[in-house]
């Protein structure tokens, strides 16, 4: 979920690699989808990046911060991003 405008719910930013973004995962089955289906008082945002470097992931995060200040940040990285 792209952070397009502020939400009245506290935000949870989930940063990470393609596994966070949803590569090879059935539609509506990502971690953020699960959280949004089960958390009433928070809104999770999928900031996973496909085929990106660690710098790309953090750049995406900084851009999202311009739209909303999350209450929680989760970082889920594939070790291959450090190569």
In this prediction, residue 38 carries a pLDDT of: 94
Measured CA to CA, the distance from residue 45 to residue 12 in angstroms comes to 6
Alpha helices in 1-83 (DSSP H): 18-21, 31-38, 54-65
Q: What is the per-residue pLDDT across 74-83, written as a single tens digit (0 to 9) for each?
A: 888 666 656 6
Q: What is the per-residue pLDDT across 15-66, written as a single tens digit (0 to 9) for each?
A: 887 878 888 888 888 888 999 999 989 999 988 888 777 788 788 888 888 8
């Amino acid at each position: 979920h792209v952070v397009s405008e502020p939400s009245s719910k506290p935000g949870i930013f989930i940063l990470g690699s393609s596994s966070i973004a949803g590569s090879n995962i059935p539609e509506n089955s990502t971690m953020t989808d699960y959280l949004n289906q089960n958390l009433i008082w928070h809104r999770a945002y999928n900031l996973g990046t496909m085929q990106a470097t660690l710098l790309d992931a953090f750049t995406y995060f900084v851009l999202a911060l311009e739209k909303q200040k999350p209450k929680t940040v989760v970082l889920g990285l594939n070790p291959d991003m450090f190569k």
